[in-house]
Amino acid sequence: MAEWLTFPADQAAKLEPWLPPKTRLSSEGGGGGGGVAPGEQQRNEPAPARARPFVTLTFATSLDSALSLAPGVRTTLSGPQSKAMTHFLRSRHDAILIGAGTAVADDPGLNCRIQDAESQPRPIVVDPRCRWSFHERSKVLQLAGEGRGLAPFVITTPEAAAAIDEQKRALLESHGGKYISLKYGGSSDDGVLDWNDILAALQHEGLNSVMVEGGGHVINTLLGHKDKNDLVDSVIITIAPTWLGQGGVVVSPAREVDESGNPKAALRLTNLSWHPLGDDVVLCGQIEP
């Protein structure tokens, strides 16, 4: 069993300006005094109504902006303090979102391991082609079965959903997960789902905050979206003191052009704050309008 983690209160306070508003969670009927069991959360103070969830984009990167050594290769970048920070961030969000590539490569648990956390985030896997072949031994389902996490919601398309094996669907639903079907649309013309539709679907599920963790395709499509300024509320990046070298999975959204057709920077962060954390540095900011 993986160990429980703690994150110092003074470090947590430094991140507060870039986190979603706190909501108080309690279990049905109270009693027990042992926190909130997964699946039994009930908000006493709902977050203010809005058209989409609060979105935090967070990931760990090397000095050359790489997430991993190569596609499909699990790569550890951040140190133990930064890892604890990631789980603290998970404790402050209703959902964690990753792409199918990350689910396939990493077999992630997608839970929160902060000691005495009040609730668990809902894993979201964006998988338009249903590439992720989960099974009973997949870490996220094992944790859900043990009450140490929640089963994922898998976002796909109606065409892919129609071809899903019913045993696979039943396995997901038996753990409390499900498929959510969305049509290709919005600004998407390259076989990807539109972020406006994804976030609207999560809001419909009662998820008021989502932590987008990766991988590269997910991050680059979000940062390259025409509505990125209206889709991302905060950015928290852990920078590790290493170069991974050429050939890695890189965060690099498409370059933009100005009115004259000349290339310009894709985007810039503002309202910056830098925090040393072990051997790493954490950068917090917002996308500049």
Structural domain includes residue 24: no
Instruction: Write out the residue range of the structural domain in which residue 196 sits.
Output: 50-287
State yes or no: pLDDT of 284 exceeds 70. yes
Residue range 4-43, pLDDT digits in tens: 999 999 999 999 999 999 863 433 323 333 333 333 343 3
Structural domain includes residue 277: yes
Backbone angles phi and psi of 226, in degrees to 5: -60, -25
Residue percentage of the chain with pLDDT more than 90: 76
Question: What pLDDT, on a 0 to 100 scale, did the predictor assign at position 36?
Answer: 36
More confident of the two residues 169 and 25: 169
State yes or no: pLDDT of 275 exceeds 60. yes
Structural domain includes residue 36: no
Residue range 111-138, pLDDT digits in tens: 999 988 989 999 999 999 999 999 999 9
Structural domain includes residue 261: yes
Please state, in angstroms and as integers, the Cα–Cα distance from residue 172 to each residue in 38, 103, 175, following that order: 16, 15, 6
Q: Tell me how many domains the chain contains.
A: 1
Structural domain includes residue 116: yes
CATH number of 68's domain: 3.40.430.10
More confident of the two residues 289 and 191: 289
Amino acid present at 153: F
Structural domain includes residue 6: no
Amino acid present at 67: L
Please state, in angstroms and as integers, the Cα–Cα distance from residue 200 to each residue in 9, 184, 227, following that order: 33, 14, 14
Cα–Cα distance, 269 to 273 (Å, whole number): 10
Structural domain includes residue 42: no
Structural domain includes residue 179: yes
Residue range 231-264, pLDDT digits in tens: 999 999 999 999 999 999 999 998 888 889 899 9
